[in-house]
Amino acid sequence: MMLGFLLWLLLLVLCWPLALLALLAWPLVWLLLLPLRLLGIGVEAVFALLRAVVLLPARILGFSPGR
């Protein structure tokens, strides 16, 4: 987060119109990327469910990965 701010400050010094355009465009980019972020959360949940289903027999037999 801090690195991004420092890079933006550097861009502001070097080319202020581009820095202001980036500052104004950031909320739009965030909104466009939001569906991809939600899709990633869903895919991660599906993989967690598959992992739990595959490891269920071992957990029932008493195997514990922490031991």
Is 18 among the domain residues? no
pLDDT reported for residue 52: 93
- Structural domain containing residue 51: 25-67
Count of domains observed in the chain: 1
How far is Cα 27 from Cα 33, in angstroms, rounded to an integer?
A: 10
Residue 38, in any domain of the structure: yes
The pLDDT score that the predictor gives to residue 63 is: 78
Alpha helix stretches (DSSP H) within the chain:
2-14, 16-60
- Does 46 fall in a domain? yes
Domain-located, residue 43:
yes
Going by C-alpha positions, the residue among 26, 22, 46, 44 that lies closest to residue 34 is: 26
Is residue 31 pLDDT above 80, yes or no?
A: yes
| Residue 5 within any structural domain of the chain | no
